[in-house]
Chain A
Amino acid sequence: MFGYYLDLALRSLRRSKTLATMMVMALAVGIGASMTTLTVAHLLSGDPVPGHSATLYHPQLNPTMPPRLVHEPTSAMDYRSAMDLWSAHRADRQTLVASSPVKVRVEGSGEPPLPRQVLLTTSDFFPMFDVPFRYGGPWAPTDEGPHARVVVISSTLNEQLFGGANSVGRSLRLRDSDVRIVGVMAPWRPAPRFYDIWQGRYRHGNTESFYNDPEDIYTPVATGLDIFAGQVPGVPVHFCWDMGADGKSMQTAPCAWLSLWVQLSSPAKVHNYAEFLKGYAQQQKRLGRYTSDQTRLQSLMQWLEWNRVVPGTVRMQAWMAQAFLLICLVNTVGLLLTRFLRRSGEIGVRRAMGASRRAVFTQCLVEAGLIGLLGGVGGWLLTLLGLWMVRQQPVAYADLAHLDLPMFFGTFAMSLAASLLAGVLPALRASRVPIGFQLKTL
Chain B
Amino acid sequence: MRHIVKPLLRHRMMPLLVVLQVALACAIACNALFLLQQKLVPLLTPDGVGQPQQLVVAWNLAPRGQPWPVSTLRQTAAELRAIPGVTVVSLAGSWPMETMAQMTGTVLADGRDGKADAVIYIGDHLRSTLDLKLVAGRDFSAAEDVVVYKNIGIDDDGPTIITRALANRLFPDGHALGKVIRIGDQADAGRRTVVGVVAHLMRNKFSQDNRDDIDYSMLFPGTPSNWPVPMFGVRVRSAAEVASVLKAVKATVQRELGSNMIQGIDPAYETYGDMRQRMLAQPRAAVWLLSGVSLIVLLVALVGIMGMTSYWVQQRTRQIGIRRALGAKRSDILHHIQWENLMVMSAGILLGMVLAYAVNLWLMRHYELTRLPWQYLPLGAVLMLALGQLAVLSPALRAAKVPPVVATRSV
B-contact 0/1 string along A309-329, CB 8 Å cutoff = 000110111001001101110
Find out whether the CB atom of A394 lies under 8 angstroms from the CB atom of B263.
Answer: no
Interchain CA distance A393-B263 in the complex, whole Å: 30
Complex CA–CA separation, A204 to B367 (angstroms): 7
CB pair B264 A233 closer than 8 Å: yes
Shortest A325–chain B CB gap in Å is 10
Picked from A101, A315, A324, A429, the residue with its CB within 8 Å of the CB of B296 is: A324
- Interface size class of chain B, counting residues whose CB lies under 8 Å from the partner chain: 35 or more
- Distance to closest chain B CB from A419 (angstroms): 15
Bound-complex Cα distance A324 to B27 (A): 10
**For window 321-367 of chain B, which residues contact chain A by CB distance below 8 Å?**
359, 363, 367
Q: Is the beta-carbon distance between B25 and A327 smaller than 8 angstroms?
A: yes
**Which residues from chain B contact A355 at a C-beta distance below 8 Å?**
none
Number of interface residues of A (CB under 8 A): 43
B314:A328 contact, CB within 8 angstroms: no
Q: Which residue in A33, A101, A205, A247 is a CB contact (below 8 Å) of B265?
A: A101
Interface centre among A323, A326, A395 (most CB of B within 10 A): A323
Q: Do residues B301 and A394 form an inter-chain contact, with CB atoms below 8 A? A: no
Q: Give the docked Cα–Cα distance between A272 and B136 (Å).
A: 71
Smallest CB separation, B344 vs chain A (Å): 12
Task: Say yes or no: A394 contacts B367, CB within 8 Å.
Answer: no
Neighbour of B304 across the interface among A233, A334, A441, CB < 8 A:
A334
Does A26 sit within 8 A of B, measured CB to CB?
yes
Give A36 Cβ to nearest chain B Cβ, in Å.
10
Q: Are A331 and B21 in touch, CB under 8 angstroms?
A: yes
With contacts A323-B28, A441-B410 taken as known, whether A330 is within 8 angstroms of B17 at the C-beta atoms is yes
Contact A338 B300 (CB under 8 A): no
Answer yes or no: B13 CB below 8 A from chain A CBs: yes
- Residue among B14, B28, B266, B281 making CB contact with A327, cutoff 8 Å: B28
A327-B297 contact in complex given A333-B17, A334-B21, A337-B17, C-beta closer than 8 Å: yes
Nearest A residue to B266 via CB reads A115
Q: How far is the CA of A180 from the CA of B20 in the complex (A)?
A: 67
Identify the interface centre among B289, B307, B315: most chain A CB within 10 Å of its CB.
B307
B28 touches A334 (CB 8 A): no
Cα A337 to Cα B296 in complex, Å, equals 22
What's the Cα separation between A234 and B14 when bound, in Å? 63
- Asked if A334 and B17 sit within 8 Å, CB to CB, the answer is yes
Measured between C-beta atoms, what is the minimum distance from A26 to chain B in Å? Answer: 5
Nearest chain B CB to A380's CB is how many angstroms away? 18
Cα distance A254–B359 when bound, in Å?
46
Decide if B113 is an interface residue (CB 8 Å cutoff): no
Which residue of B has the minimal Cβ distance to A18? B307
List B residues at the A interface (Cβ < 8 Å).
13-14, 17-18, 20-21, 24-25, 27-28, 32, 65, 262-266, 281-282, 285-286, 289, 293, 296-297, 300-301, 303-304, 307-308, 310-312, 314-315, 359, 363, 367-368, 410
A-B contact pairs, 10 of them (CB 8 A): A22-B303, A26-B303, A30-B300, A101-B265, A233-B265, A324-B296, A330-B24, A331-B303, A335-B308, A394-B281
3 tightest A-B CB contacts, nearest first:
A101-B264, A338-B311, A331-B304
